[in-house]
Amino acid sequence: MMTAGADPAGLLEAAAAVIDRNGWYHGGGFSDQSTDCPPAAAPVCAAAAIRLAAGAERPEHGSAAAAPAEVLFARYLLARGVTMPPGRATEPADVIAAWNDAPGRTGEQVAAALRAAARTPALAGGHERAG
């Protein structure tokens, strides 16, 4: 888990690692189906992975430290043609949730997109991250 002071691109890389480690959840938040799995170790959606990477103790807890990374990832998704249904809010969490929960989405796609967003020069502070 990264510290709250980590840069947004670094948090996206760490969020991809959270999905690699915990597994991915298709739906909002995290899979709470297993009583013997602590929430921070449960499969998570993209937004929850970002929150855990930013230091949240539970995936459903918001984090001010996660907000810049959520904005970065939402901008990446919107730049690649993600559209929102009419009348649906376009806050970063809404954009991420709509993309994460799209039919046919896979955990591999989610982790790959988090890493790609972290390495997109125009979004990650104007320079390509090593990776």
Q: Which residues are CB-contacts of 99 (< 8 A; sequence separation ≥ 6)?
A: 46, 77, 82, 105, 113
pLDDT above 80: residue 120: yes
Mean pLDDT on 56-62: 68
Task: Please tell me the predicted confidence (pLDDT) of residue 39.
Answer: 64
pLDDT of residue 59: 62
Domain boundaries of the chain, sorted by first residue: 8-118
Arithmetic mean of pLDDT over the chain: 81
User: Pick the residue with more confidence: 122 or 67?
Assistant: 67
Instruction: Write phi, then psi, for 44 (nearest 5 degrees).
Output: -130, 155
Contacts of 23 (CB under 8 A, 6+ apart): 31, 42, 43, 44, 107
Most confident of 31-40, 84-93, 113-122: 113-122
| Residue 108 phi, psi (nearest 5) | -65, -40
pLDDT score for 60: 65
pLDDT over 80 at 102, yes or no: yes
- Whether the per-residue pLDDT at 93 is higher than 60: the answer is yes
Q: What is the pTM of this model?
A: 0.82
Share of the chain above pLDDT 90, in %: 48
